[in-house]
Chains A and B, each alone.
Chain A
Amino acid sequence: MAHKTINIKLKVWRQKDAKSKGAFETYELKNISVDSSFLEMLDVLNEKLVSENKEPIAYDHDCREGICGMCSLFINGRAHGPDDLITTCQLHMRKFSDGETIVIEPWRVGSFPVIKDLMVDRTAYEKIMQAGGFVSVSTGGVPDANAIPIPKEDADEAMDAAACIGCGACVATCKNSSAMLFVAAKVSQLALLPQGKVEASRRAKNMIAKMDELGFGNCSNTGACEMECPKGISLAHIARLNREFLTANIKS
Chain B
Amino acid sequence: MTKLDSKVPKGKLKDKWSNYKAHQNLVNPANKRKIDVIVVGTGLAGGAAAASLAEMGFKVKAFCYQDSPRRAHSIAAQGGINAAKNYPNDGDTIYRLFYDTIKGGDYRSREANVYRLAEVSNAIIDQAVAQGVPFAREYSGYLDNRSFGGALVSRTFYARGQTGQQLLLGAYSALSRQIGLGNVEMHNRTELMDIVIVDGKARGIVTRNLITGEIKSHFGHAVVLATGGYGNVFYLSTNAMGSNGSAVWKAYKRGAFFANPAFVQIHPTCIPRHGEFQSKLTLMSESLRNDGRIWVPKKKEDAEAIRAGKMRPEDIPDEDRDFYLERRYPAFGNLVPRDVASRAAKERTDNGFGIEKNESGEGVYLDFKYAIERLGKDVIEARYGNLFQMYEKITDENPYETPMRIYPTIHYTMGGLWVDYELQSTIPGLFVTGEANFSDHGANRLGASALMQGLADGYFVLPYTIQNYLAYEITNPRKNPAELEEFKKAEEGVKSQINRLMSVKGNKSADYYHRELGKILWDKVGMARNEKGLKEAIEEIKALRKEFWENLHIPGNTNTVNPELEKANRVADFLELGELMAYDALSRNESCGGHFREEYATEEGEAMRRDDEYMYVAAWEYKGDDKEPELHKEPLEYEEIEVKTRNYKTA
Contacts and interface: CB of A to CB of B under 8 A. Distances in A.
A193 B459 contact: no
Given A1-B309, A55-B556, A195-B131, 20 more contacts: A1-B358, A47-B511, A53-B553, A63-B73, A64-B279, A64-B280, A64-B282, A66-B393, A126-B68, A126-B179, A134-B174, A139-B48, A139-B55, A139-B463, A145-B125, A149-B141, A155-B137, A162-B159, A163-B162, A189-B134
B555 A53 contact: yes
Contacts of A47: 509, 511
Interface stretch (A67-75, A216-224, A233-241): A67-75
A125 interface: yes
Contacts of B242: 62
Nearest to B140: A149
Contact of A65 (B129, B140, B282): B282
Interface string B39-69: 0000000001001100100000000001110
Contacts of A130: 176-177, 179-180
Nearest to A206: B180
A137 B51 CA distance: 11
Interface residues of A, number: 79
Interface stretch (A86-94, A98-106, A175-183): A86-94
Given A166-B68, A195-B131, A67 B165 contact: yes
A196 interface: yes
A209 interface: no
Contact of A68 (B73, B122, B140): B73
Given A62-B241, A67-B75, A56 B131 contact: no
B564 A50 contact: yes
B551 to A, nearest CB: 12
A50 B278 contact: no
Nearest to B169: A162
12 contacts: A37-B394, A50-B564, A56-B563, A62-B66, A62-B240, A63-B75, A133-B173, A145-B85, A145-B122, A145-B126, A156-B134, A159-B136
Interface string A109-135: 000000110010111011001110111
Contact of A139 (B51, B75, B309): B51
B75 A134 contact: no
B138 interface: yes
A152 B275 contact: no
B152 to A, nearest CB: 22
Contact of A134 (B71, B176, B309, B560): B176
Contacts of B160: 159, 163
B556 to A, nearest CB: 5
B280 A115 contact: no
Interface string B62-97: 000011101101011000000001010000000000
A33 B274 contact: yes
A246 interface: no
Contacts of B73: 62-63, 68
B633 interface: no
Interface of B: 48, 51-52, 55, 66-68, 70-71, 73, 75-76, 85, 87, 122-123, 125-143, 159-160, 162, 165-166, 169, 172-174, 176-177, 179-180, 186, 188, 211, 238, 240-242, 274-275, 277-280, 282-283, 309, 357-358, 389-390, 393-394, 396, 459-460, 463, 507, 509, 511, 553, 555-556, 560-561, 563-564
A252 interface: no
B393 A92 contact: yes
Given A47-B509, A58-B561, A136-B177, A122 B555 contact: no
A35 interface: yes
A130 to B, nearest CB: 4
A171 interface: no
B259 to A, nearest CB: 27
Contacts of B165: 67, 163, 165
A104 to B, nearest CB: 16
B275 A3 contact: yes
Contacts of B511: 43, 47
A126 to B, nearest CB: 6
Given A130-B179, A152-B137, A67 B563 contact: no
A148 to B, nearest CB: 8
Contacts of A90: 390, 393-394
A166 B159 CA distance: 18
* Interface-central residue, B68, B132, B309, by most chain A CB under 10 Å: B132
B176 A129 contact: yes
Nearest to A122: B67
* Interface-central residue, A49, A56, A115, A162, by most chain B CB under 10 Å: A162
B174 A69 contact: no
Contacts of A43: 277, 279, 511
A161 to B, nearest CB: 8
A21 interface: no
A150 interface: yes
A169 interface: no
A150 B518 CA distance: 47
Given A131-B180, A138-B55, A140-B127, A64 B241 contact: yes
Contacts of B66: 62, 68, 70
A121 B134 contact: no
Contacts of A125: 68
Nearest to A70: B71
B390 A65 contact: yes
A158 interface: yes
Closest A-B pairs by Cβ, 9 of them: A149-B141, A130-B180, A134-B173, A142-B130, A159-B134, A158-B134, A138-B55, A145-B129, A139-B52
Nearest to B511: A47
Nearest to B309: A1
A76 interface: no
B85 A70 contact: no
A117 B299 CA distance: 53
Contacts of A136: 177
B162 A121 contact: no
Given A92-B394, A130-B176, A151 B279 contact: no
Contacts of B274: 3, 33, 35-36
A97 B283 CA distance: 28
A61 interface: yes
A28 interface: no
A150 B140 CA distance: 8
A189 B165 CA distance: 14
Given A62-B241, A189-B134, A149 B166 contact: no
Given A67-B76, A158-B132, A60 B67 contact: yes
B46 to A, nearest CB: 14
Nearest to A49: B555
A92 B560 contact: no
Contact of A189 (B125, B132, B509, B553): B132
Contacts of A86: 393
Given A94-B396, A150-B137, A44 B211 contact: no
Nearest to A131: B180
Nearest to B239: A63
A213 interface: no
A140 to B, nearest CB: 7
B71 A68 contact: yes
Contacts of A149: 137, 140-142
A166 B129 CA distance: 21
B53 to A, nearest CB: 9
Nearest to B70: A166
A135 B131 contact: yes
A131 B181 CA distance: 9
Contacts of A155: 134-137, 141
